[in-house]
Structure 1
Amino acid sequence: MSAFSVNILVILALGAIFIASSWYISKKVSTADDYISGNGKLGVAFGTTSLLAFWITGNTIMAAPEAAYGMGVIGAIAYSFLGGVAVVAFSPLGKRIHAIIPNGKTIGDFYKNRFDKKNYYFFLFMVFIYIFGLLMTQGIGGGLLLEQTFHIPYELAVVLTFLIVIIYASMGGFSSVTGIAFFQVMLIFVVVIVVPPIVYFNTGVAPIYEGIQKLAPEKLDLLLPSGILFMFAGAMMGIGEVFMDNTFWQRAYAVRKEKLMSIFSLAGIGWFFVPLATATLAFVAIGTDQAPEQVNQVAPYIAEIYGGEFVSWVFLVGVWSALASTIAAILNSLVSLILNDVYKSINPNADNKKLLKMAKVLTVVIGVLALLISLPKFLTMLQMLIFLGVINAAFVFPIIYGLFWKKLNADVSFWAAILAVIGGYIAYYTIGSLQGVVVSGWISFLVCWIGSLVKPANYDWEKLYRVGAVQEVTRK
């Protein structure tokens, strides 16, 4: 049997395990609510692993080394800072969500009832763009990983990854995604624990450090301007991504209220070390003057050269698990948002059987669409992440102010997001990509703050508190 056939079988075997596990879990899923948010409250272990499985993405393992390769040590630290701080920052946000909208299901419940229709529709439009962009980065990551490390053609790799995820994610929805996440996180951490040490054992730490000093000493500069800019822009980007992503709101509702702060804090701290570990592979590339064909292939490229066949296999299994878990979580998140905030508005009398069927159909349709848009190689994973970061940054302060400050009115929130997106992309294309993220965040902050002081609202929090309860009474 050829090496190509064996590599395909490895992915198919891992996919079969995920699908079989999902089939078993899905037997307990009987309602649309189970499909959207699960049939029980997650404790610390499953809550933390569910967050990690989603948040440790293809970006985490592939784009973190890309950042380190371009910006050196400060790039690696900045990328780790990006996601870890964002998840920890969501802890008080999640606690507030439980307090003021305890019966909600999605971020759409918040936007629809805290603001007005124009805010709600604009947010849905932008969040769909963001989610499809994020899905595309995961598809690209999976394709590049299998192409570079296991020499599976890019297009076949993308199709294979998405088809497996679509099958298992469509079976049990949220319950399947979170149930399999625990196993996937264990595989991901094998990569972090095993791959970098073996690579450095074969190359030596001192030779890599000396090589960097000789070939690219600026990569050791902790005050490298581009790295410092990325650290601050990245934090804004990461916080915006977490705050506006329905996946985190789903998990805020799904975990036990008293465990929420612990779960999100542990997940944020745990996440920090994953990109930091994989980013060190970029230092090997710099110190040995190795240049991959594409910069976002640097991690699997170095793992293959200096780790040998065993490390390549470990890298494949762990990183592909990260990609699969993230794609599955994003699919379920988007389906939940569409089902709860769009389909129910169009067809309010749909019974549970019809809602559950529609949820599964949406998972397949969105998954296939995401597969198709992932086939072209538009941008690198880091470039796409920064491009989407302009959108993320625009919604940070409407969400924060909207949750904590009753003076924020709907018109101010709307114009803050609109102007931030426009101003951010103008800066993105005229000044620089990272500057676009910073400009977007600052515009969002200033318009929300100044606008609410000039034209303050007096929002009644009781409207949010009644959201789920009112809907429940109506259905009865």
Structure 2
Amino acid sequence: MNKNNYQMYISGSIKLGVGFGIVSLLSRWVTGNTILSSPETLIKYGLAGGVGYSLMGALALILFGLLAKKIREKYPNHQTIGDVLREKLKPSGYWYMIIVLFLTSFDSLFVQSMGAGILLHMIFPLPVFFGMLCFFLFCFFIGGLGGIQRLHQFAGVNVTIIFAAVIIIPAYFFIKEGVYPVYDGIKLYHPYLLFIKNTDAIWFVLIAILIFFGQILMDRATWQRVFIIQEEKVRMTFTLAGGIWATIPFAISSLLMIIMFGRSYENIYSLIFELVDKIQSTMLIILFVLFCFSAISSTISAEIHATTTLFVKNVLGLFRSLTDRERWRYSYIFSGGICVCLLVIVSILTPNPLELLFFFGNIYAAMIIPMLYIIHSKTILPSIIPFSSLIGAVGGYIFLPITEDLKAILLSFTLSGFICLMVLVISLISNTAKNRKEL
């Protein structure tokens, strides 16, 4: 790889078409959270929740695809989300958004790393620290050292393994057990899973769409892929990727129902272990392990690469002039530091994936309207626009002790949206008055 051209590290040498663009997006968004949150969603909200979880991710990707076309048209020479923010925001608003980007980035990395720790502990009889050390060394090699080109080299393999697992393993179980015995067993032991008229599940899906859409809007890796997919194909790429992504959590939910029928379970995560125990074929066990490893490692590698790029290009690059070789060197140092921090933190803390997702859901929901405002704006925006997300998120957290998580997230979204609307109205009134004076 040419170390004299940092452009190769950020976006590679070619623009992606529809096929490989879909592969790259799926490699980023089929995550450890998808694997670990699917069982929890299924248990809490039943089959309706499992289907809804599949649809929310698909809809969020499709909605972002509608924006992606406009982003490419308005910002043809940019490479990262930081480039767009720097053009549209004043310094105070820019640095606030950069802080939020790093905060959400480490949240995403931590969730994926924690998922890797859980799966490694359940599947392999190894000390967690040793397993995670090997895992992070691999992710550092792909995302930290290799750049976007190495990510693309592994993306096709990762997606092939993922779809082989979600197609072959469910087919194997349904052929072996039969459809009706599974349905009868679920109906007997876990009838609540089949309850369709679940208002809590509908409410969960609606709020989850806000969270997922906000997460995509703030995702560093997704924005980089917007700029490396061919402009005329970017909308179709996101739309098709969304439709294909929906099949993954649905397939995982069907696998879990196969495990649960005719028996009880100790805890949610024990279902993953029971799946490994229930698979009798050595080849299928290997396929399932590779599926988990591919999904989580590809996500962490993409996130490490995108966060490193954001730091070197949009933070460090503003304080001093860097040569391309210096950018490469700082990328290695920063990405290595991320992996070391994650290894230490994951060894100490083990929170619940779905709870952590909803804890940061206030931030993601509060970011939606400000980010839409930034994307569509034609001028440099006042700092109140990005800071409206802070007001919205804080408002949601303040009411969190006296209301439900889902309502607090909706409140965060509403508060930030209301502030942005007021700014827009005041701006329109001010411009109208100014035009009248000129006349």
- Same fold, TM exceeding 0.5? yes
Residue type of the partner of 1:155?
Answer: F
CA distance 1:36–1:225, shift in 2 (3 Å): same
Distance of 1:103 and 1:208 partners within structure 2: 54
> Larger deviation: 433-442 or 182-191?
433-442
Take 1:458 and 1:368, find their aligned partners in 2: how far apart are those partners? Answer: 51
Aligned residues: 431
User: Structure 1, residues 373-400: CA drift from partner, whole Å, max 9, x if none?
Assistant: 2223432222222222221111111111
Specify which of 283, 298, 301 is matched with residue 257 of structure 2: 283
Q: Does 1:392 align with 2:356?
A: no
1:58-104 CA-to-partner distances (Å, cap 9, x unmatched) read: 11122112211221111111211221111111112111111111111
Matches within 5 A, 1:104-123: 104-123=78-97
Secondary structure at 1:323's aligned position in 2? helix
Q: 1:335 to 1:458 in 2, by over 3 A?
A: farther
**Native 8 Å contact 1:146 1:157 kept in 2:** yes
The answer on 1:312 being equivalent to 2:285 is: yes
| Residue number in structure 1 paired with 2:334 | 362
User: Per the alignment, do residues 437 and 152 of structure 1 end up closer, same or farther by CA in structure 2, a change over 3 Å counting?
Assistant: farther
- Cα 1:164–1:320, aligned 2, differ >3 Å: closer, same or farther? same
Q: 1:37 to 1:112 in 2, by over 3 A?
A: same
What is the Cα deviation at residue 181 of structure 1? 0.7
Give the structure 2 partner of residue 147 of structure 1.
121
After superposition, the C-alpha distances for 1:149-169 in whole angstroms (9 at most, x for unaligned) are 233333332222111111232
Q: What CA distance in whole angstroms lies between the structure 1 residues aligned with 2:84 and 2:134?
A: 36
CA distance in 1, matches of 2:119, 2:429: 50
Residue number in structure 1 paired with 2:312: 339
Does 2:175 correspond to 1:201? yes
- Does the residue aligned with 1:241 lie in a helix, a strand or coil? helix
**Structure 2 CA distance for partners of 1:325 and 1:292, relative to 1, 3 Å:** farther
CA contact under 8 A between 1:401 and 1:408: conserved in structure 2?
no
Residues 16 and 228 of structure 2 are in contact (CA less than 8 Å); yes or no, is this contact kept in structure 1?
yes
Q: Per the alignment, do residues 119 and 232 of structure 1 end up closer, same or farther by CA in structure 2, a change over 3 Å counting? A: same
CA distance in 2, matches of 1:341, 1:127: 11
Structure-2 separation of matches of 1:376 and 1:90: 35
* TM-score normalised to structure 1 length: 0.85
Give the whole-Å Cα distance in 1 for the aligned partners of 2:309 and 2:430: 30
Distance 2:398 2:380 in 1: 26
Aligned to 1:134: 108
Structure 1 partner of 2:142: 168
Q: Which residue does the alignment assign to 1:230?
A: 204
Pick the aligned partner of 2:190 from 216, 219, 222: 216
In the alignment, what sits opposite 1:424?
396
Q: What secondary structure sits across from 2:263 in the alignment?
A: coil
What is the letter of the counterpart of residue 195 of structure 2?
Answer: D
Amino acid at match of 1:164: F
> What is the TM-score with the length of structure 2 in the denominator?
0.92
Which residue identity lines up with residue 393 of structure 2 in the other structure? V
Structure 1 residue aligned with 2:237:
263
> Which of 33, 36, 61 is 2:7 aligned to?
33
> 1:39 is paired with a residue of what secondary structure?
coil
SS of the aligned residue for 1:41 comes to coil
Q: Identity rate of aligned residues, in percent?
A: 27
CA distance in 2, matches of 1:336, 1:297: 37
Shift in Å, 1:254: 0.7
1:384–1:202 Cα change, 3 Å = farther
Instruction: State the partner residue of 1:272.
Output: 246
Residue in 2 that maps onto 1:448: 420
Per the alignment, residue 350 of structure 2 pairs with 378
Aligned residue in 1 for 2:436: none
Mind listing any 5+ residue stretches in structure 2 that lack a counterpart?
432-439
- Is the 1:281–1:303 contact (alpha carbons within 8 Å) kept by the matching residues of 2? no
Name the CA shift for 1:86/1:368 in 2 (closer, same or farther; >3 Å): same
* Unaligned stretches of 5+ residues in structure 1: 1-26, 460-476
Q: Deviations over 1:428-474 (max 9, x none)?
A: 44322233322222222222123321344999xxxxxxxxxxxxxxx
Q: Which secondary structure state, in structure 1, belongs to the residue aligned with residue 246 of structure 2?
A: helix
